[in-house]
Structure 1
Amino acid sequence: MAEQLRPATLLHWLITQKDWTFEDAAQEFEVTAKRAGISATVSPRHLGRMARAETRGRTPSASTRRVLRLLFNRSVDELLSPPPSDPTDATGGHSGLGDEVDMAAERARAFGERSRSRLTDEAMEQIYDEVRSLATDYPQRPVLQLLPSLIKVQGDLMDLIETPQQHPMHLRRLYFLTAVTSGLVAKSSHDLGRTPAAMTHARTALLCAEQAGHDGLRAWINGLESQFSYWSGRPRDAVRYAQRGAEFAERAGSTAAVWLPASEARAWAALGRIDETRTAIGRAESALDRAEQDDLDDLGGICTFSRSRQLYYAADALAWFPSAGADAERYGEAAVTAYAAHDDDWAFGDEAGAMSDLALARIRRQELGGAIEAVRPVLELPPDQRIHGIASSVDRVHGALMNSGIRSSEAAELQEEIEVFRRTALTAIER
């Protein structure tokens, strides 16, 4: 006889619909784990507590999550969420041959992970390639597409670090890669508007960077913290984090030494300090001329700071000052041109930010047509690319337009488009 309690979670509801007891469900869990080659067990009592939402705050192990996903064809986050109000189609999922394909893929993946736990140089290289691919893809693909892979790789790396008797050389490399992936997960959290979670992951990344003994990583993570603080309206914290990483960046001599003063410039600008802003922009430009690639830069993508990004950050800083409008427009135009010309360092978020800064500068000189031309590609971005930083940049354009005194029908239409954009941004949508 099925459990008669009112379902507290989708997991509970699915078990009830299958007419299982928790003992039945635990047995099915064991069968699924065995077929997939996953070493995992769950007791009926613990499964019942999960189903009744009595384990909040405790995350199931990675192996348990994988088996539950195979058994119910739902992520654990879905399974532990309340059941839908009209769950008539909640059973969904695959059956027959599709299940066999999923099982075979899971079995192959589990075999690879067991082999990885005894790290060889070849396995280490494979992990490195995965992280490099994520770092390269991050600026160019929607965050929701990459986040599941990022979280999985982060968890796998943490598991490997906790595996006894890893070779010291491999262990240092594992800490390096865990710091990078934790930084990427932090950036994902920020892009989705979850700043507290972003800062938590950044602190974890910094702990791993300390274990790796890597100055470039320390500086890069301080740059992330500065970025998160800037977009969250905490410019003094943004200055502090940028300055905190300066010593590490100087020792590393990498492009992190460009990112930190560029970040500091934006934060000073948000505080209305134009002299400090221009000085920091100058330091960033000088650092770019001296920067040398380190192994963090070699990962590419979000892990390095290019000339295009430096131009964008300068535009973003100077756009805060109406008196610096000409310089902001010049830097913004240069950044947009640079991103259009260089596919290797293209980043949809930074390009959108530069376009928004260009629009902002043009509005301030009453050039509405040029502003619309600059911001139009941003407003046409699909919702899954409307991340926190882009939405905030577009908000600045909206504010400048409201205060510009321009009262044409074109201005009103642009205001409305921006408001629609904001309502459909990732940070405004319940996911």
Structure 2
Amino acid sequence: MTFGSELRQRRLEAHESLADLACRIHVHRTHIQHIEAGRRVPSRALAEAADIALNAEGRLVRAFNEEDEQRQQQAATRRTLAASLATSRDLCQLADLELDELHAGVEETAIDYLGTAPGPMLHRADALRRDALSRLRDYRHGQHQRSDLYVAAGRLSGILAYSALDLGDANAALEHARAAGRCAQQAGDTELLMWVRGTQSLIARFNGDYGIALGYVQDGLHHVGDVPGTGAARLLCGEVQCLANLGDSAGANQTLHLAEQARERVQRPDSLAGLFEFSETKQRYYAASSLIWLDGGDDARTAAAEARAAIASWEQMPPAQRSLDDERLCHIYLATALVQLGEVEAAADAMAPVLSLPVEAQISWINKRAHRVASMLSAPRYRNSSAAEDLKDAIGALG
């Protein structure tokens, strides 16, 4: 429970109005209202005064302390994000990158990313990449390790791009992705370059720039050939998202079929697992996340079926293999399709795991997509639906 919701609960239990409490702790009632809604950060003095005024027996102070610790951790993450950008700019300018013994750390980080919050991953990837640059600058590498250094630094930059995007900073994500692309080109690693183009397209889609996103996809598809992994399927699924957002149902469904064919043609697995592979489950997730942008009907039914299949697949996996953020988002995509089909109560059930998430687990994608569901529930068809109002209120309480 947040400090704001704890404050509201204690105030209501004490039968105090906003005006009553404001008078007792000497602040304006609007300020308390904003704090309860999570729009303003309380001071420690206010928390202590409210705790006494409402006889909360220390509960409000404890809630404040917990949130204050979270804010300090988030501030540390933002500082790391800023510092990591400087390294990405260096990578774009350096002509030679080399790496000695960091491959195991890169592989572990790529896998752990699926089940770990983006903040800790940002810290770990940045530390690994700093070590890579230190080895470069000290020339601590073997004669034939230059390409390996580029690939490792490129993958770490890619992980940082994902971390930045999940934290809501698309501009930082683009800089990290640009550094990853430069590394891939210098290493001559087509597989990594295709992955980077897919990531750049993802960032552009996050910003709503679907024309630019399509350009990244098309550039990536130019490199399809004797390349290991699922890069072509991932790029085509990115194209599906663009076409769906542009309202092209026929094109989106046709390209989904092409993505399935690309997966069937894969002869060699992805060189690195975790964040750098595109599983069949993830492909179903992409199908669901794309078709919900069309006009409902058959597209919504297909989206709901794909979302359910992806969720069921993730639920059967060991925890280390589950992509928790994608799984949570898939619940939102299922709810979106169900709202399009008029099944509001089923949509509320689909959203339930997301609505109970703590604030630190609510990545930027979750908030963006959940609030779209809320806006859909404001349509005239749901004007007299209590279930729609309840779900809107629950989504509004997200961070």
Q: Same fold (TM over 0.5)?
A: yes
Shift of 1:395: 2.2
Question: Runs of 5+ in structure 1 lacking a partner?
Answer: 1-73, 82-118, 425-431
Shift of 1:75: 7.1
CA distance in 1, matches of 2:373, 2:76: 39
For residue 273 of structure 1, the aligned residue among 231, 245, 248 is: 248
Find the counterpart in structure 2 of residue 85 from structure 1. Answer: none
Find the counterpart in structure 2 of residue 377 from structure 1. Answer: 353
Find the counterpart in structure 1 of residue 15 from structure 2. Answer: none
For residue 315 of structure 1, the aligned residue among 270, 288, 311 is: 288
Alpha carbons of 1:78 and 1:372: their partners in 2 closer, same or farther (altered >3 Å)?
Answer: closer
The amino acid across from 1:186 in the alignment is A
Alignment of 1:206-221 (within 5 A): 206-221=181-196
For residue 388 of structure 2, the aligned residue among 405, 411, 417 is: 411
CA distance in 2, matches of 1:77, 1:155: 17
- Report how many residues are paired: 305
Shift of 1:314: 0.5
Aligned partners of 2:77 and 2:122 also within 8 Å: no
Deviations along 1:96-119, whole A, 9 cap, x unmatched?
Answer: xxxxxxxxxxxxxxxxxxxxxxx9
Find the counterpart in structure 1 of residue 377 from structure 2. Answer: 401
What SS is found at the alignment partner of 1:329? helix
Report the structure number with the largest CA radius of gyration: 1
Shift of 1:248: 2.1
Q: Which runs of 4+ in 1 moved over 6 A?
A: 74-79
Find the counterpart in structure 1 of residue 301 from structure 2. Answer: 326
Alpha carbons of 1:240 and 1:146: their partners in 2 closer, same or farther (altered >3 Å)?
Answer: same
Alpha carbons of 1:271 and 1:77: their partners in 2 closer, same or farther (altered >3 Å)?
Answer: closer
For residue 301 of structure 1, the aligned residue among 249, 271, 274 is: 274
Find the counterpart in structure 2 of residue 153 from structure 1. Answer: 128
What SS is found at the alignment partner of 2:309? helix
Aligned partners of 2:228 and 2:271 also within 8 Å: no
Shift of 1:165: 6.8
For residue 340 of structure 2, the aligned residue among 361, 364, 370 is: 364
The amino acid across from 1:332 in the alignment is A
What SS is found at the alignment partner of 1:395? helix
The amino acid across from 1:143 in the alignment is P
The amino acid across from 2:369 in the alignment is S
Find the counterpart in structure 1 of residue 51 from structure 2. Answer: none
Alignment of 1:114-193 (within 5 A): 124=100, 126-164=101-139, 166-193=141-168
What SS is found at the alignment partner of 1:196? helix
The amino acid across from 1:194 in the alignment is D
Shift of 1:211: 1.4
Shift of 1:146: 1.8
Alignment of 1:221-300 (within 5 A): 221-294=196-269, 297-300=270-273
CA distance in 1, matches of 2:228, 2:257: 17
Cα RMSD after superposing both structures: 2.3
What SS is found at the alignment partner of 1:250? coil
What SS is found at the alignment partner of 2:145? helix
Find the counterpart in structure 2 of residue 202 from structure 1. Answer: 177
CA distance in 2, matches of 1:366, 1:335: 22
Per the normalisation by structure 1, the TM-score is: 0.67
The amino acid across from 2:311 in the alignment is V
Aligned partners of 2:118 and 2:166 also within 8 Å: yes
Alpha carbons of 1:76 and 1:186: their partners in 2 closer, same or farther (altered >3 Å)?
Answer: closer
CA distance in 1, matches of 2:149, 2:263: 29
Find the counterpart in structure 2 of residue 96 from structure 1. Answer: none
Alpha carbons of 1:282 and 1:345: their partners in 2 closer, same or farther (altered >3 Å)?
Answer: farther
Shift of 1:78: 7.2
Shift of 1:195: 0.7
Alpha carbons of 1:206 and 1:412: their partners in 2 closer, same or farther (altered >3 Å)?
Answer: same
Shift of 1:251: 3.7
Aligned partners of 1:265 and 1:278 also within 8 Å: yes
The amino acid across from 2:262 in the alignment is A
Aligned partners of 1:264 and 1:280 also within 8 Å: yes
Shift of 1:77: 8.0
Shift of 1:173: 0.7
CA distance in 2, matches of 1:162, 1:274: 51
CA distance in 2, matches of 1:401, 1:259: 31
CA distance in 2, matches of 1:314, 1:203: 27
Return 257-266 or 351-360, whichever deviates more.
Answer: 351-360
Deviations along 1:332-374, whole A, 9 cap, x unmatched?
Answer: 1111111112235411121122211111111122111111111
Aligned partners of 2:77 and 2:119 also within 8 Å: no
What SS is found at the alignment partner of 1:169? coil
Aligned partners of 1:250 and 1:257 also within 8 Å: no
CA distance in 1, matches of 2:376, 2:267: 39
